[in-house]
Each structure stands twice: as C-alpha cells, then as structure tokens.
A and B are shown apart, each in its own frame.
Chain A
C-alpha cells in the first residue's frame, strides 16, 4: 500500500437548495484497496461519488487525487485523471455494439475511420484478460443486465481507470453473477487499482472490502477496517438507532377467495417475462414475492393492474378481472403502490389535493356530474394528510416540494383510503429512509388486519421476512413453491431462499397454483 492515499476527501460538502446532501465528509482510499461506502438509501453515498466524478460541483471541501489538488469539474476531467464510475442506470447506447460503446469518446485506431474488427478484437482481449465475458460485436440492447454491467466496467478499464466507483452494482445481479463480479474486483485490486463500492448490503461489504466508511444522513458515521467489525456493528452505525419493528400479529383468516392469479404469461419484445405465474393471496394475508429486480416483478404488477396484456386469469373475490380496464379493476377494489413514485404514483406538477383526487375520479362524492367537488376534495385530502402525518405546506402545495417519504405517504393515503380488497405493493419502501420504510410496512400490516389481500413484491429480504405470512421466490418469470413464514421470521431457511433467488434450486418450479 502506498503511503500517500490515491484519493483523499476533506470536509466535502454538497447542498441542493436547503437540503445538505453531504456534510463535511472526509475519507481516504489507497491504491490497491477495495473501499466500501455503506449507508441506507438517502445517506448521500451516490451524491458524494457524483461529486468525485465531476457530475456535481462541490460546495465546500478539498479533493486530492494522487497527491495533488484536483478540480474534477466534469466527468471528462475525472476520466482523464483516471477515475471511472458505473452508475445504477447504465449509460450505454443500446443501438451500438459492445465494442463501439467501450471506445466511445476515445479515438479508436484508424480514427476517424475506425477499424471495426480490430477494435472488436482488442475489446475482446481486454474482456478475457479481466474475466468479463461478453461478445464485442453484440448490440448492447440485446444483452442481459449483467452483461451490460460488464460492458460498463470494460469502458472504465479500457481507459485504464485507477479508481473504479461502482454504485450498487449487485442490485441487478443474481448471486452467481455477484460472485463473478467479486472475482473481477479482487483481480483488479491485485493489479494495484482501487474500487469504491457504494452499497447498502452488509454481507457483501464484509466479503469484499478492505476498509469501510459508513455514511448516515450525509455525514461520516464510522470509518472502519473490515477485519475489525461485524454485521451488528455495521448495522447499528448505518441506522443509528435500534430498529424496533412491531410484531406481526397472528393471521386472522378471512372467508372467501382473495386475489388469484392463474397461469399468467406475458411477453415483451420477444422475451418471455412471465412464464406461467400462479398464486393465491387470501384476504387478510400478505404474500411476499422475493427476487432480484428484473425477474418479472414489475411485469407481474402491471398484468394484475391491467396495464400489460397477458394470457391467463386474474380473479378478485371470485370475479374475473380479465379484459377489464385498469379503472374497472380499481373500482372492484384493487389498489397499487409502486416503487416509482415519480412516474407511476404521482403527478408532481399538480397539488396534493389533485393527486389525491386522482384516485377518486369515479367516486360520486368527489366528482358530481363531471364537476369536481372542491370542498369535499379539500376536506378529504386534509384528513389524509393528518392521518398519515404527511409533512407538507398545505393541500394546495405542489407535490414536487415534498420529500420522498412524504410523497410515498401521499400515494399510500390515496391507495388505501378506499379500503381496497386487494393491494399490489411493488418495492413500496425503495428509496425511503428507515423511518418512512417502517411506516409503509405498518400500513401494509394494518391493511392485512382489515382483511385485504396484499401481494408484496420486494427485493428487501428484511422487509419481506417481517411482513409476509408466506414467501415465494420469483426467478426469470417463474415462482417457487411458497414457504411459510412464522411470526418471528423463523421457519425460513435463508440459504435456501438465496439459492432460489439465484435460480439454483429446483423444488417447486412447477406453475401449478399453490394451496393456501
């Protein structure tokens, strides 16, 4: 290890208006080190790295790179310095090939008339050398998510990045792909390169990192050596307070059928997204669907809602929903909470009142003969704001002004206000701080008490184990057989769960409907 750190941050601060995203953060990364930046959603990890990579300008503090003060005013400068970043949303051009994407922005041999075959050969050799198997001539749009990530990393290595910053790289990978990525990163470390890993997953941090910086609320909560810490310690540093979760009461079995899915199949651009999904959610039950993003969860939610065409049957309280519009399904008592508040849940340019109204356009108390009943809408919105503790300037304020947690509360308030018979929750607490996430979970439990059938699709195992009565695993559009989940999260073999999520266990792969 070199005596002078490769990258050094001192008191780096970044503000967005009144919100302080990074508050006086200091950390050091040496050459040949894997450094984990650990923290919950919203702790400031990505923002901090965006400052290092030149996407944001810092409001205070100093950055030293290879012993010298660095300005890093744009990604171009960062790349030239030898810093590379792989974001959560990939920055690839889907219509170009792998090789073209890797050399984009550089002058390939023969510039300006690139020798395509030579570039592909070189990129292929580079890929093989680092253990990142991918076809250089393939169009990026045709690749899987894991393969696209490899292309992103190749981009950095082609530019001989000395420091690679990876933002939540394992969020989109299956466990074996994670292992492969880790092997690549360890090899890079052996070459003297450094890696900053932004993550919220403690097991990965302990398996891979040399040093760990824990961020909480934009500040450094702890700077530790991986060898000298343990999961409980890290968890406590991340969250800052012991997480007390209300226990899940014993399930009151309600009569009648709830939400039933039978043999759902759907296709998207030639790829089968759902391969015959069958599931029954009884009233007053929460069924959790575990799985890594991209295995069909979003498509499943969309099919149930009627936003996507699928073959197979969807029934609610015994009545078939097939062929009904989304509006009709909602009138029958179906509600939906999504992870993507900004696109799926809310119209940010409208007021809170108007966003609340969005869920009640066919309710005669809100809309009488085509005219909006303003006073009733205001009253109901104010009541919801109070009941859910939404921090807002007022019901007429623009929804854009609310924080992420409060926005999600508004969505919940609207979706749950009609006492739905069935609720589909897709990653409902993603991107929320622990307090807000807890609130969401409590609301789901409350609905469960009231006899609603809740289908919870999530990648957060802790949340699933806390909330679900039964657990299934989704992998490549198929569901495993359900696993019963006792009150304290016992009864579930976590190893088996992990294997199922990686698609490596075969029991229960048949699509037959499961018994309650």
Chain B
C-alpha cells in the first residue's frame, strides 16, 4: 500500500490540474468537448501543430537544462530570462559584426557567443554568492530586468535597423541560420541542438569529475570543502553552465526563429524553464518530457483561444496550479497517514 501512495498522489495532482483546466474552460463559456478537441488538435493533431510544439520546446528545454544544472549545484538561477536576452543580444551582435563569414563558421560562433554571454550574465550573481555569500535569488531576478531593458535600449540605438521605424535590429546574415527541418513549418535544427544538450548534460553530470563536484557541492558544500573540493570555483562553474545554456537558448531563438533582435523575444521562457526543471525533477529525460508537455500546453491553449474563445492565459493558470500541487504533494502524502497517537506538528 505504501508503494502505491506516490503513484496515487501523482495521479491526484494530474487529475486536479485537469479539473482546473476544465473549470476554466467552463467559466469561459466554451463547450468542454469543442475546447478539448481544439486544444489537442492544435497541439498534436496536425503536422504544423506538432512542429510548433517542438519549436517552443527548444528554448524551454535549453533553459530548463540550464536552470536544472544550477539547481543541482545549489545555485538557484531565477534569472534565466535575463540570460536568454543576453545570449540573444550577443549572438545578434556577433552575426551582424561578421557578415562575411561562411555559415559553418558563423553559426557555431554565434551560438558560442550566446552561450558565453549567458554565462557571463550569471557569473555576476555566481561570484557574489561564491565570494560574499549573497543570495543569488534576488540578484538574478534583478539582472533579468537589467538585461531586458538593455535590449530595449540597444534595439533603439546601437542595434537599431535604420530602415524600420520599429525598435528592431537589422536582420542577421544568411550564414547565421539554423536550417529548417520540416518543409512548411518553423521547426529548425535548434531542436536537435537542444536534444544534444540534454544528452550532453546527462553525460557531464553523471560521468565527469566536474559534474560530480557540482552535484556534491549542491548537496553538502561543507563536506566538499573538507574533502578538498574548491567550492567557490564549483559554484562559479555551475553558474556559468546554467547561464550559458540559457544564453544558448536565446541565441538559438535568433538563429532559428526570429533572425533579428527585438523586444519580447522571450515570452517568459526563463521563468517557465523553472517549472520545466521542477517537473522534470532535475533529470534530463524528465526535463525533455516536461519541456514538450509545457510547450504543448501553451500551443494548445493558443489554438483553443482561436477555436473556442478560451483565453490563452489558461496556460499560466494550469502551470501555476501544477507547480503548487507538485510542491504540496509530499505534504499530502504525509497527511493521509492514519492519525493514531501522532501529535500534530
């Protein structure tokens, strides 16, 4: 019976999330069946829908991996959103600065620039944590706002396209493009990059000494210090890797989807990535599934809005509910145990 309990509570969580979804659809005055169908068809029913889901999965997966790597080392990277912007900016700037380079050189270079920028953006809070013991939670959030505003500034000034009145950068050169994988869709090779990253992260964390140090420091930094591990340097490495993956997500979005820098390039991918990492329980396979799931939720919700008139903000409601339930689940398990002589805490 005890073994069943975790499965039961997980089912309860999934069911509760579904009920919340259904309640919102009902409150929106839409027919449950029609809305459900619209949702499923939009996300999974057509080839285009599926490709859209995978397009959205790409940045969620990359940023989710980044957040997860940070979490495992005890570095709460709440500022992935800002690192995505930093990466997108660096990639755009790099591509615009070197238009003559052939694609096989420019593309990796631009992606690398994105990774480096994201890493650098996380290293600030990482250093503050490693050296001064300052909590990275608030620092990373604040740098997100700085990054978003810096981008706003740049696309109106240094990186502004003179031909357009809108605040956008000039289009990136042809060479900095991730090829489309499926004719007629937006699905681009960035998806493969993300999958490769998932495999890479898994290998690095489980099989290398650096990955081991990261995980150990996240669990018990004092014991690592006593054992001779350089804790500060490991925290910095984790911050850099975490930010780098998020920055890579930004660079991939430029090269695969937008091909220019603009405001709003990330509709909250960085924050959603935290949900992805949580649901994926810090395991790369889980994170892939969670990223696809959340992406499907968001794409399906947009479709549902078009088809049945249910506001797409339903996706945020479901996500928030899901996270809250996942957080409450261990307590639910404890609570359902028989009372007996057990005193209430």
**Which chain A residues have a beta carbon within 8 Å of chain B's beta carbons?**
54, 57-60, 73-74, 305, 307, 325-330, 336, 338, 343-350, 354, 357-359, 361-362, 367, 370-372, 374
A305 closest partner in B (C-beta): B226
* Bound-state Cα–Cα, A370 to B204, Å: 10
What are the interface flags for B197-231 relative to A under an 8 Å C-beta threshold, 1 for contact and 0 otherwise? 00000000001111011011001101111111110
With A327-B229, A330-B228 as contacts: A345 and B223 at CB distance below 8 Å: yes
With A58-B341, A358-B216, A371-B208 as contacts: A325 and B228 at CB distance below 8 Å: yes
Interface of B is mostly: helix
With A370-B208, A371-B209 as contacts: A347 and B226 at CB distance below 8 Å: no
Residue B343 is within 8 A (CB to CB) of chain A in the complex = yes
Residues of chain B with a CB closer than 8 A to A344's CB = 222-223, 226
Residue B183 is within 8 A (CB to CB) of chain A in the complex = no
**In whole Å, how far is A348's beta carbon from the nearest beta carbon of chain B?**
7
With A73-B344, A346-B223 as contacts: A326 and B216 at CB distance below 8 Å: no
Q: Are B343 and A372 within 8 A (Cβ)?
A: no
Q: Which of B212, B220, B228, B344 has the largest count of A CB atoms less than 10 A from its CB?
A: B228
Residues of chain A with a CB closer than 8 A to B223's CB = 343-347, 358
With A349-B219, A357-B212, A361-B213 as contacts: A336 and B226 at CB distance below 8 Å: yes
Residues of chain B with a CB closer than 8 A to A362's CB = 228
Q: Are B219 and A347 within 8 A (Cβ)?
A: yes
Residues of chain A with a CB closer than 8 A to B344's CB = 73
What are the interface flags for B332-345 relative to A under an 8 Å C-beta threshold, 1 for contact and 0 otherwise? 00000000011110
* Bound-state Cα–Cα, A380 to B152, Å: 57
* Bound-state Cα–Cα, A385 to B71, Å: 31
Within 8 A of A (CB), among B220-249: 220, 222-230
Residues of chain B with a CB closer than 8 A to A348's CB = 219-220
B345 closest partner in A (C-beta): A74
Q: Which of B216, B223, B343, B344 has the largest count of A CB atoms less than 10 A from its CB?
A: B223
Q: Are B226 and A354 within 8 A (Cβ)?
A: no
* Bound-state Cα–Cα, A356 to B70, Å: 24
**Which chain B residues have a beta carbon within 8 Å of chain A's beta carbons?**
207-210, 212-213, 215-216, 219-220, 222-230, 341-344
A-B contacts at CB below 8 angstroms, number: 78
Q: Are B210 and A350 within 8 A (Cβ)?
A: no
A329 closest partner in B (C-beta): B228
Indicate which residue in B208, B225, B228, B341 contacts A59 across the interface (CB closer than 8 Å).
B341
Q: Are B227 and A359 within 8 A (Cβ)?
A: yes
Q: Can you list 19 A-B pairs, Cβ within 8 angstroms, ordered by A? A: A57-B343, A74-B343, A307-B225, A307-B226, A325-B230, A327-B228, A328-B228, A330-B228, A343-B222, A344-B222, A349-B220, A357-B212, A358-B229, A359-B227, A361-B212, A370-B209, A371-B208, A371-B209, A372-B209
Residues of chain B with a CB closer than 8 A to A327's CB = 228-230
* Bound-state Cα–Cα, A326 to B341, Å: 49
Inter-chain pairs besides A345-B226, A349-B220, 18 sampled, C-beta below 8 Å: A57-B343, A326-B225, A327-B229, A328-B228, A330-B227, A343-B222, A344-B223, A346-B220, A346-B223, A347-B220, A347-B224, A348-B219, A358-B216, A358-B227, A367-B209, A370-B208, A371-B207, A371-B208
Residues of chain B with a CB closer than 8 A to A346's CB = 220, 223
**In whole Å, how far is B223's beta carbon from the nearest beta carbon of chain A?**
5
What are the 9 A-B residue pairs with the smallest beta carbon separation, nearest first?
A327-B228, A73-B343, A57-B343, A347-B220, A349-B219, A326-B228, A367-B209, A358-B227, A347-B219
Q: Are B343 and A350 within 8 A (Cβ)?
A: no
Residues of chain B with a CB closer than 8 A to A350's CB = 215-216, 219
Residues of chain A with a CB closer than 8 A to B216's CB = 347, 350, 354, 358
A54 closest partner in B (C-beta): B343
A340 closest partner in B (C-beta): B222
* Bound-state Cα–Cα, A307 to B230, Å: 11
**In whole Å, how far is A229's beta carbon from the nearest beta carbon of chain B?**
35
Residues of chain B with a CB closer than 8 A to A328's CB = 228
Residues of chain A with a CB closer than 8 A to B230's CB = 325, 327
Residues of chain B with a CB closer than 8 A to A336's CB = 226
B342 closest partner in A (C-beta): A57
Indicate which residue in B210, B229, B341, B343 contacts A370 across the interface (CB closer than 8 Å).
B210
Indicate which residue in B212, B224, B341 contacts A57 across the interface (CB closer than 8 Å).
B341
Residues of chain A with a CB closer than 8 A to B212's CB = 354, 357, 361, 372
A358 closest partner in B (C-beta): B227
Q: Are A343 and B220 within 8 A (Cβ)?
A: yes
**In whole Å, how far is B88's beta carbon from the nearest beta carbon of chain A?**
31
**In whole Å, how far is A314's beta carbon from the nearest beta carbon of chain B?**
15
Residues of chain A with a CB closer than 8 A to B342's CB = 57
**In whole Å, how far is A332's beta carbon from the nearest beta carbon of chain B?**
11
**In whole Å, how far is A476's beta carbon from the nearest beta carbon of chain B?**
25
* Bound-state Cα–Cα, A367 to B229, Å: 14
* Bound-state Cα–Cα, A344 to B229, Å: 12
A414 closest partner in B (C-beta): B227
Residues of chain A with a CB closer than 8 A to B207's CB = 371-372, 374
**In whole Å, how far is A282's beta carbon from the nearest beta carbon of chain B?**
25
A71 closest partner in B (C-beta): B343
B206 closest partner in A (C-beta): A372
* Bound-state Cα–Cα, A307 to B227, Å: 10
**In whole Å, how far is B70's beta carbon from the nearest beta carbon of chain A?**
17
Residues of chain B with a CB closer than 8 A to A371's CB = 207-209
* Bound-state Cα–Cα, A372 to B212, Å: 9
* Bound-state Cα–Cα, A73 to B341, Å: 9
